[in-house]
Amino acid sequence: MAIVDEFGRTINYKAARAAQNNAYRPWEPVERKDISDLVPATDRNTLQSHARRIYLNFGPIKNAINQRSMYAVGRAFLPIFRGKNKDWGRTATQWLSEIFYAIGDTRGGMHDFRTNMFTWSSSIDVDGEIFILLTETENGFPRYQGIPSHRIATPQGVSEGQRIRGGTITDGIVYYATGAPKEYAFVDKDGKLSEWILAENMIHLFDPEWQYQGRGLTALTHCINDCRDMIQSTDWERLAMLQMSSISLIEYNENGGPDMDDPFTTLSQVGTNGKSLTVESMDGGTVRYFKSNSGGKIETLVNNRPGNPFLDFHDRLLKSAFAGLHWPYAFYNGHGVGGGTAQRTEIAMAQRSIEDRQDLLFYAAKRIVGYAVAKAMKRGDLPQDSEWYRWEFSTPPKLTIDDGRVTKELETMWKMGAANMRDIVAMRGKTLESHLEERAAEIALRKLAAIEAEQIYGVRISDREMAMLGANDPVDMDSSRSMNDSDDEDGDHMDDSPNYDQLKSRFDAYGVAVRAGAITPSALDEEAFRREANLPPMNAPIQRAWQEDGGFRRPITLLQKAASAVGLGPQQNAINQEVLK
């Protein structure tokens, strides 16, 4: 026997049942169209207009968008040449950093390359896309110009889907039959055609989410109505707060108003509004009078707005908005429950979002820098090189909740061989090449300073003393040697400072072996350790002590076991311990 519903229809438990309409869910048409048809130009422009208004007026959303842009760009995006000709790379890097980055934008002034990268990243979230035109001056110097999204549109007099200029125009872009863009329609403020721009001269940057998506959609598409409701409800709640804060006191009396026989009432110009409510002004606030059933009293107005339901609902809507932006809500509202584990998870999510945005910006940066270098070689500003296009860019330091912990983990991985130095310096927003160059320059400067001081004061300064790792790290105490004692036969200074990490490991292992009875300490062992640690040789009292002990010392554990085996008492054991001292 079939199970039926309240209307006598057989109940269907198939998944398709979820898509069926009923009295509570209205019918919706089934749309099997491309994204350009599902979200036509008019709808996209409406979404973009609302998103711009929300970005300008709603702090939480503006904060989330700007935060990701700041962490993705920061003070990085410096050009890094990956070709073989390092001399050419240094020359080109200097030209890019000092000249093109500063004046490449057609507007000039404060609009340098890295500032534009920040605004482009924010525009991708707000407008959904950004257009960058590659152009040049009259004498061939490379320039670029950012074009806002609304200036690329189907011009007046041209219909969507019309065959024009050897292709089909859709939302301001003429496409080949393959779907590749051919030309872009640049319109003026009135929507009239200004010029057609070839696709090879335009960089169209957006975060695609659909197959065959031709125009970018704002990242706020999912939460526009939620944000509008939050802004509007906040405005209404603000009005309610202003009205309630304007009331200072409430007096209940039998008349429902002030005492008209009191001269102060006349002087204060107490009046009654259209709803028979008597209001008295007092030092910027008001006193309102209401009739009481018996007796009189004065109360202050209790304000419980906005209540928890209002705040909780706003919090829920904001979480939904941040989820669609791929940005952790904790970066705005603080970290929730879960302690360090939850915070590390949120920071990892943010870092993945940052890296995803950087991959998008790298595409634009490589095209702009490659175009600029090619034009510079053509003008003669840079020499020719076959690998002129091989460029990468630096990134800001990665987000972390505990710099010390992460650094310790990277150090351990580097010692194990599981991580390279390039990985470690990349975490700090630097490149391995720049790190090694700065490191070598620092070491050279330290050595030159030591040599200069040695010549002035006539004493030897070891490299260990110039760069001690800690207050308890041992240093070379032999300062009596001449400055040339550590020079090789070619006159080059040799760094003979010991590796104290290896020495410590050897000392620890030696101590364990001695306590286990596997090694018997001898005078030769001490001499070897002193040489390796750059310690002074044994003095006369130490040598006499070794001679008295016969040149070796039995481990304490072996003496204790021997004493127990022959039945020595506590007094004899104490004597043996004293002898060992």
Percent of the chain scoring above 70 in pLDDT: 77
Strand order in 142-147's β-sheet? Answer: 142-147, 129-136, 202-206
Average pLDDT over residues 277-306: 63
pLDDT tens across 163-222, in order? 999 999 999 999 999 999 999 999 999 999 999 999 999 999 999 988 889 999 999 999
271 vs 536, residue with greater confidence: 536
Number of other residues whose CB lies within 10 A of the CB of residue 64: 23
Per-residue pLDDT for 364 more than 90? yes
Predicted confidence at residue 547, as pLDDT, reads: 85
Task: Please give the Cα distance from 238 to 242 (Å, whole number).
Answer: 6
Predicted confidence at residue 122, as pLDDT, reads: 95
**Which of 130-134, 335-339, 456-460, 545-549 has the weakest average pLDDT?**
335-339
Average pLDDT over residues 230-253: 82
Predicted confidence at residue 30, as pLDDT, reads: 83
Task: Please give the Cα distance from 270 to 267 (Å, whole number).
Answer: 8
Packing angle of the helix pair 308-325, 224-245 (nearest 10 deg) = 150
Average pLDDT over residues 221-234: 93
Adjacent-strand bridge partners of 146? 132
Predicted confidence at residue 254, as pLDDT, reads: 67
Sorting pLDDT into bands at 50, 70 and 90, what band is 463?
confident
Predicted confidence at residue 567, as pLDDT, reads: 47
195 vs 566, residue with greater confidence: 195
CB burial string 282-296: b at 16+ within 10 A, e below: eeeeebbbeeeeeee
**Which of 249-258, 414-423, 427-436, 448-457 has the weakest average pLDDT?**
249-258
3-state DSSP assignment of residue 4 = strand
Q: DSSP labels for 65-113?
A: HHHHHHHHHTT---EEE-SS-HHHHHHHHHHIIIIIHHH-BTT-TT--H
Predicted confidence at residue 489, as pLDDT, reads: 45
pLDDT tens across 429-459, in order? 677 888 888 889 998 998 899 899 989 998 8
Predicted confidence at residue 12, as pLDDT, reads: 59
Predicted confidence at residue 498, as pLDDT, reads: 61
Q: How long, in residues, is the chain? A: 581
Predicted TM-score (pTM) of this structure: 0.68
| Domain range summary for the chain, segments of one domain joined by + | 503-580
Residue 570: asked if its preceding bond is cis (omega within 30°), the reply is no
**Which of 12-16, 250-254, 411-415, 534-538 has the weakest average pLDDT?**
12-16
CA distance from start to end of the chain: 97
Task: Please give the Cα distance from 213 to 181 (Å, whole number).
Answer: 11
Which one-letter DSSP state was computed for residue 199? G
Per-residue pLDDT for 302 more than 70? yes
What average pLDDT is seen over the chain? 81
Predicted confidence at residue 231, as pLDDT, reads: 92
The residues near 446 (Cβ < 8 Å, ≥ 6 apart) are: 463, 466, 467
Predicted confidence at residue 525, as pLDDT, reads: 84
The residue type of 509 is A
pLDDT tens across 42-74, in order? 999 999 999 999 999 999 999 999 999 999 998
Per-residue pLDDT for 529 more than 60? yes
Sorting pLDDT into bands at 50, 70 and 90, what band is 282?
low
Task: Please give the Cα distance from 98 to 29 (Å, whole number).
Answer: 57
Average pLDDT over residues 252-277: 59
Percent of the chain scoring above 90 in pLDDT: 42
Per-residue pLDDT for 488 more than 50? no
Average pLDDT over residues 89-107: 93
Predicted confidence at residue 573, as pLDDT, reads: 46
Sorting pLDDT into bands at 50, 70 and 90, what band is 505?
confident
Of 7-21, 117-131, 411-425, highest mean pLDDT: 117-131
Predicted confidence at residue 478, as pLDDT, reads: 43
Predicted confidence at residue 186, as pLDDT, reads: 96
pLDDT tens across 15-47, in order? 555 566 677 777 778 888 888 888 999 999 999
Predicted confidence at residue 541, as pLDDT, reads: 85
398 vs 169, residue with greater confidence: 169
